[in-house]
Chain A
């Protein structure tokens, strides 16, 4: 509504392009973000508004996922790791690393960081990645630590990329001034105004070109774009599509959000696979791209983006086939399925750009093939009530429009929650799905990728689990003095060391 600019052509930036070789420049930069970090707590760094500032800048992890290349899990504070015969993991830690308070990093800090995220004195978000696991940590020596996890965790090194390491002295309660081993330390935080990170001279790794980063916060996307344009800021990772008009500074990037309609298979007529297929055939996904959904968005065949392990290129998007959908509905009706029962689509206000228009168009397309669709918009908390278990008793057939974010590189962060019988947002229960998730979660290497691929195909083609729609794109504005291309992880993490100054 605020926008005064008109839509113009969008540029096709390379999505996963690497940063150009380092140039000679160095100096301070300013970054303008949409949402202020209310807390700079390291164990909350998996929340995007916090992680974008401190993750790997102030607080580092034992491992990190390569989101720019295909190196997979890479060493960070751990130099190497191995799995022992009993399934435990041994991590060998980097030596000569100091926290910004001057203390030396060692295995006791890692142990404490784990104890802290499981403490009942805080509500650390990173704990959610270890649900159902029992973790015993044993300090072998100052630079070696063992993790015995029950059940055995083949992806523990990947999970380590989500746990930030704090010094042993950190209290269990939430803190507001993070101490980390990263290349930057917090030097100023004026709530509501700015957060400043300043480069550390005693950092163990390569010295980044950005010497200081000032984070500013503006909710309005047009203002964020204007700030980079006028030089008040150098980078805004998120601007609106309407403002992304300058091909020299504005880039679109696949932002790891996948939009879909979650089908509740428990209630007729959605318990019939023909009806679920008809839902998928009735929607003209391609027509949305470039109109209501930005150019560059990718039609989804899985709830995880294409950069994820095991993403299956052989699974094809359902074609737009209204006649086919009508036929399927007729067949189901002939077999006594109550296809005329009104189905409610629940969508969340302001969940993603153009959500109202997209949902209204989908409603119209579904109605065109014979579905009776009610569309209901709700706010975030009510949406959560429909999306997550326990589902309400006596509910009618429901499709929940939702947006799911997985930039972590492995489907395990998605599949259990969305598809396993015990998953909080699973709309069905299928023993084969449970088995595949269990086996894939426990597998390693090619076997793991193969099992995830198999699951993705089974969910899409046989179960017809949901109506998958789009992998969305975001838009960023980067000053011409910087050399930086956003990645699929930019939503949740913005490493200052990835930014070069021309």
Chain B
């Protein structure tokens, strides 16, 4: 297992380096940060001085060499816009995103597994049809629309929840609720499909023949075998949340990493873009390792 993790780490490290090099040069292609930091009326001298202050006048390779040197000493540079270390800015935002993703995905996994399994147990039954309809709607509904409707209904009309922001448990309900819907819709479908195939397998038939009750058949015999594809899709969905739920963060004023990343790209705050990519890439790598470990736990054939 350790050698497996070592191999995965090495290949991920190479991908990460490639990604950072690419983003470093591509972000510089978007243009001059001085043009955005300073107003249009700023003189050429002011722009020149801004570039000098931030080392943007040096040849690109010199800038890259300096960046690599700094990264190796753990310094990811300063945010141009915020005049503070880029890594601090990103980590502050990433903690919010991590919580949002962790809570949402835990709820999604629990709910989708129960609903998908029950739907698969009586295919074509009322519960199956209902859950299919709900999950299809969930997978297709645009989240910006859902977010605004949720605010209108729960905050303005019913006055049950705050419209947006942070500060109390109540503030988390709408963003998590909106983020929950799409992965839930997708994963219910995956669980259902995977469970249908597991429930029609020989070992389930044997269990039924032996008189095992429905509950243990679904949640002990079939589910464990049906979980591998579900975990893969769960990982995919979690990765997209870790990259930041930009729309939900924007509408609910949630200070996560997705909105930070988009704003930094638009403002050409290169160091923050690079730090954000580094942090999210490491998080996604760690999550992939966890997924691989989960495979090994669930399926002895992988373990051995």
**A381 adjacent to B36 (CB under 8 Å):** yes
A176 within 8 A of partner (CB)? yes
Chain B neighbourhood of A122, CB < 8 A: 53
Out of B50, B148, B151, B251, name the residue touching A123 (CB < 8 Å).
B50
Cα distance, A388 to B39, chains bound together (Å): 11
- Whether A39 and B81, one on each chain, are in contact in the complex, defined by CB atoms closer than 8 angstroms, is yes
**Size class of the B contact interface (CB-based, 8 Å):** 35 or more
In the complex, the answer to whether B149 meets A4 with C-beta atoms within 8 Å is yes
- Residue B110 at the chain A interface, CB threshold 8 Å: no
B156 at interface, CB cutoff 8 A: yes
Cβ 8 A contact of A193, one of B144, B151, B165: B165
Q: Nearest CB to that of B152 among chain A residues?
A: A4
A245 at the interface (CB under 8 A from B): no
Q: Is A392 an interface residue (CB 8 A)?
A: no
Q: Do residues A128 and B30 form an inter-chain contact, with CB atoms below 8 A?
A: no
CA distance A465 to B167 in the complex (A): 53
Interface size on A, residues (CB 8 A): 44
Instruction: Check: A227 CB closer than 8 A to any chain B CB.
Output: yes
B36 near A380 (CB under 8 angstroms)? Answer: yes
CA distance A120 to B144 in the complex (A): 44
Residue interface bits B47-66, CB-to-A below 8 A is 1, else 0: 00110110000000000000
Asked if residues A128 and B164 are in contact (CB atoms below 8 Å), the reply is no
Asked if A123 and B53 sit within 8 Å, CB to CB, the answer is yes
Give, as a whole number of angstroms, the nearest-CB distance from A35 to chain B.
9
Q: Is A98 an interface residue (CB 8 A)?
A: no
A174 at the binding interface (Cβ < 8 Å):
yes
Which residue from chain B places its CB closest to the CB of A382 in the assembled complex? Answer: B31
Min C-beta distance of A250 to chain B, whole Å: 15
Task: Give the chain A neighbours of B250 by CB distance below 8 A.
Answer: 219-220
Per-residue A-contact encoding for B144-182, CB less than 8 Å = 1, 0 else: 110111011001100100111111000000000000000
**Contact indicator B43/A128 (Cβ below 8 Å):** yes
Are A425 and B40 touching (Cβ within 8 A)? yes
Do B39 and A120 touch (CB < 8 A)? no
The contact string, 1 if C-beta is below 8 Å from chain B, for chain A 411-437, is 000000100000011000000000000
Could you tell me the distance in whole angstroms from the C-beta of B11 to the nearest C-beta in chain A?
34
A346 within 8 A of B: no
Min C-beta distance of B245 to chain A, whole Å: 14
A174 touches B253 (CB 8 A): no
Binds A, one of B82-90, B129-137, B215-223: B82-90
User: Would you call B49 and A120 a contact (CB within 8 A)?
Assistant: yes
Instruction: Give the residue of B53, B82, B253 whose beta carbon is less than 8 angstroms from that of A216.
Output: B253
Option from A121, A125, A175, A176 in Cβ contact (under 8 Å) with B38: A125
Tell whether, in the assembled complex, residue A226 and residue B253 are in contact, meaning their CB atoms are under 8 Å apart.
no
Q: Which of A176, A380, A387, A424 contacts B43 (CB 8 A)?
A: A424
Q: Is the CB of B251 within 8 A of A223?
A: yes
A217 in the interface (beta carbon within 8 A): yes
Chain B residue contacts of A150, Cβ below 8 A: none
Contact among B31, B50, B148, B259 for A2, CB-based, below 8 A: B148
Q: How far is the CB of A249 from chain B (nearest CB, A)?
A: 14
Contact B41 A424 (CB under 8 A): yes
Those of A205-248 within 8 Å (CB) of chain B: 216-220, 222-223, 226-227, 229-230, 232
In chain A, positions 351-387 with a C-beta closer than 8 Å to chain B are: 380-382, 384, 387
**B49-A123 in contact (CB<8A):** yes
Contact B151 A226 (CB under 8 A): yes
Q: Is the CB of B83 within 8 A of A176?
A: yes
Q: B53 to A223, Cβ gap below 8 A?
A: no
Judge if B46 is at the interface, Cβ distance under 8 Å: yes
Contact B39 A384 (CB under 8 A): no
Residue pair A227, B164 in contact (C-beta under 8 Å): yes
User: When the two chains form their complex, are residues A218 and B82 in contact, meaning their CB atoms are under 8 A apart?
Assistant: no
Contact B46 A128 (CB under 8 A): yes
Contacts of B144 in A (CB 8 A): 1-2
Interface assignment of A319: CB less than 8 Å from any CB of chain B? no
Q: Is A314 an interface residue (CB 8 A)?
A: no
Task: Flag whether A290 is at the interface (Cβ < 8 A).
Answer: no
The docked-state distance in angstroms from the alpha carbon of A226 to that of B50 is 39
B279 CB–A CB distance under 8 Å: no
Interface status of A450 (Cβ within 8 A of chain B):
no
Chain A contacts of B79 at CB under 8 A? 38
Instruction: Using CB atoms and an 8 Å cutoff, list the residues of chain B in contact with chain A.
Output: 30-32, 35-43, 46, 49-50, 52-53, 79, 81-84, 89, 92-93, 96, 144-145, 147-149, 151-152, 155-156, 159, 162-167, 250-253, 255, 259-260, 266, 268
Write the residues of chain A forming the contact surface with B, with a CB cutoff of 8 angstroms.
1-4, 38-39, 41, 47, 120-123, 125, 127-128, 131, 173-176, 191-193, 216-220, 222-223, 226-227, 229-230, 232, 380-382, 384, 387-388, 417, 424-425
